[in-house]
Amino acid sequence: MRQQHLTAASAAHPQPPQHSEPAPPSKRLAVFVSGGGSNFRAIHAAVQQGAIAGTVAVVVSNAPGCGGCDYARQHGIPVLTYPAPKDDPSAGLGDDELLQQLTEEFSVELVVLAGYLKLIPSSLVRAFKRRILNIHPALLPAFGGKGYYGGKVHRAVVASGVRFSGPTIHFVDEEYDTGPILAQAIVPVYPTDRPEQLAARVLKEEHRLYPLCVAAMCDDRVTWREDGVPIMWTAH
Ligand SMILES: Nc1nc2c(c(=O)[nH]1)N[C@@H](CN(C=O)c1ccc(C(=O)N[C@@H](CCC(=O)O)C(=O)O)cc1)CN2
Ligand SMILES: NCC(=O)N[C@@H]1O[C@H](COP(=O)([O-])[O-])[C@@H](O)[C@H]1O
């Protein structure tokens, strides 16, 4: 089966992973949410349709009352609270407890941040090296970093006058939005756009692109250039 990465194949790129053996078994996912969870729902739908060779083993949130957590509970998926609320430390997990739950209790293999608004601690970044994805609603490295989340991102994009935006899926490192980029997609930004209109246009692309990235990770279809740039391969 000939494989290509998502853009035109080039001899300069290393070769795709050779999967002569049967498809890898289903990977166990942890999904982190803070809000409505539409990206989580898109990923879960793709899991249910067989488009992602994975299982959502657990959902983690700093906001256990959010829509994404409600969806998880409606589908029988356990929900963990992290970090614990500052005013009630007993109501959630600490860093070490979270790591222990993800690795030992739930045997998580891939962490997927989907609208999660808190910093992932270095301990988790180290334990899941090259196994934590995040989606950002702009074309990183622009319009990213601390303070850039949700509608704030789209307000900044519209205010800047740029003519393209779109989602970025990247690997997570110790800082906000600075990890290696795995995939991006572009949408037009019209000078007449209100931020809400741009947000809806970008979100539609998020729901298309993120499940493709999670599927590639579950199929072991991501390789790494020697300079640390990831390549997502798709089977033809
Ligand atoms: N170690 C990492 N943790 C997280 C990353 C990351 O890249 N590395 N990405 C974020 C998601 N994100 C952008 O994609 C992001 C989320 C939140 C913020 C932010 O400024 N948060 C505020 C707090 C907001 C709140 O509590 O309501 C803050 O830290 O002051 C920036 C970027 C998820 N984690
Ligand atoms: N910087 C992080 C950030 O802004 N993430 C963004 O939050 C929204 C969450 O929506 P959802 O909860 O419906 O998936 C999404 O647009 C996602 O890109």
The tens digit of pLDDT for each residue in 30-61 reads: 999 999 999 999 999 999 999 999 999 999 99
Residue 107 has pLDDT above 70, yes or no: yes
Segment 103-114 shows an average pLDDT of: 98
Apex 112 CA angle, 21 and 152, nearest 5: 145
What ligand 2 atom has the least distance to the C-alpha of 136?
Answer: 18
- Classify the complex by whether its ipTM is higher than 0.85, answering yes or no: yes
Identify the nearest ligand to the CA of 113 by its number.
1
Predicted TM-score (pTM) of this structure:
0.94
DSSP 8-state secondary structure symbol assigned to residue 103: I
70 in helix, strand or coil?
A: helix
Is residue 211 within 6 Å of ligand 1 at its C-beta?
no
Is residue 41 within 6 Å of ligand 2 at its C-beta?
no
DSSP 8-state secondary structure symbol assigned to residue 165: E
Q: Which amino acid is at 49?
A: Q
Residue 22 has pLDDT above 80, yes or no: no
CA dist 178 → 12, 36, 39, 70 (Å): 25, 24, 21, 30
Q: Among 27, 71, 76, which residue's Cα sits nearest to residue 52? A: 27
Residue 11 has pLDDT above 60, yes or no: no
Q: What's the whole-number average pLDDT of the chain?
A: 94
Q: What is the pLDDT of residue 15?
A: 74
Report strand pairing: 230-235 vs 222-224. antiparallel
Is residue 117 within 6 Å of ligand 1 at its C-beta?
yes
Identify the nearest ligand to the CA of 152 by its number.
2
Is residue 177 within 6 Å of ligand 1 at its C-beta?
yes
Residue 21 has pLDDT above 80, yes or no: no
Segment 108-118 shows an average pLDDT of: 98
DSSP 8-state secondary structure symbol assigned to residue 90: G
Nearest CA to ligand 1 atom 16: 117
43 CA distance to ligand 2 middle (Å): 13
Q: Over the stretch 138-187, which tens digit does the pLDDT of each residue have?
A: 999 999 999 999 999 999 999 999 999 999 999 999 999 999 999 999 99
223 CA distance to ligand 2 middle (Å): 26
Q: What does the alpha-carbon distance between residue 142 and residue 164 come to, in Å, rounded to a whole number?
A: 11
Residue from 131, 149, 169, 182 whose mutation best tests the ligand 1 pocket (most atoms within 8 A of CB): 149
Apex 216 CA angle, 32 and 68, nearest 5: 20
Q: In the numeric block, which tokens belong to residue 150?
A: 């949700």
Packing angle between helix 195-218 and helix 38-48, nearest 10 degrees?
40
Q: How many CB atoms lie within 10 A of CB 159?
A: 9
Binned at pLDDT 50, 70 and 90, residue 24 comes out as low
Beta strands in the chain (DSSP E): 3-5, 27-33, 54-61, 79-81, 110-113, 132-136, 164-165, 168-171, 181-184, 187-188, 222-224, 230-235
Long-range own/partner contacts, residues 44-47 (CB < 8 A, 24 or more apart):
44/71, 44/75, 45/211, 46/211, 46/214, 46/215
Q: In the numeric block, which tokens belong to residue 228?
A: 């640390």
Q: Which residues, in sequence order, are CB contacts of 26 under 8 Å at separation 6+?
A: 53, 54, 55, 218
Q: What does the alpha-carbon distance between residue 41 and residue 48 come to, in Å, rounded to a whole number?
A: 10
